[in-house]
């Protein structure tokens, strides 16, 4: 007798307590022009998001991991793809 393929078996899922890691690419220097308090943890930060929010990168990544599908924080464009600055 076999127990394989029983109806109602659920596939293994990652634990809900471990959100998938999100990695933001903030290589542009202007991200370091902040100097206020992080909007997420309320501690001092020199970082700034695209929307102008003072926020730690790690806090933004953690927020994104907990809010999948949101675009409150986004990565910079890849290097070498310059916007029309002719």
Nearest residue (CB) to Zn ion, 23 versus 85:
23
| Distances from the Cα of 32 to the Cα of 37, 77, 78, angstroms | 13, 16, 18
Q: Name, in order, each residue with C-beta under 8 angstroms of 13's C-beta and a sequence gap of 6 or more.
A: none
Cα torsion 74, 77, 79, 85: sign: negative
- Range in contact with Zn ion (rule: CB under 5 A) among 8-16, 31-39, 64-72, 76-84: 31-39
Task: Select from 47, 59, 60, 64 the one that contacts Zn ion (CB under 5 A).
Answer: 59
Task: Select from 25, 27, 41, 70 the one that contacts Zn ion (CB under 5 A).
Answer: 41
Nearest residue (CB) to Zn ion, 41 versus 46:
41
């Amino acid at each position: 007798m076999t127990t394989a393929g029983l109806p109602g078996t659920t596939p293994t899922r990652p634990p809900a307590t471990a959100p998938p890691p999100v990695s933001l690419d903030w290589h542009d220097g202007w991200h370091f022009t902040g100097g206020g308090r992080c909007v997420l943890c309320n501690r001092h930060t020199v970082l700034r998001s695209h929307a102008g929010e003072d926020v730690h990168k790690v806090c933004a990544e953690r927020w994104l991991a907990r809010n999948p599908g949101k675009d409150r924080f986004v990565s910079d464009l890849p290097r070498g793809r310059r916007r029309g600055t002719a």
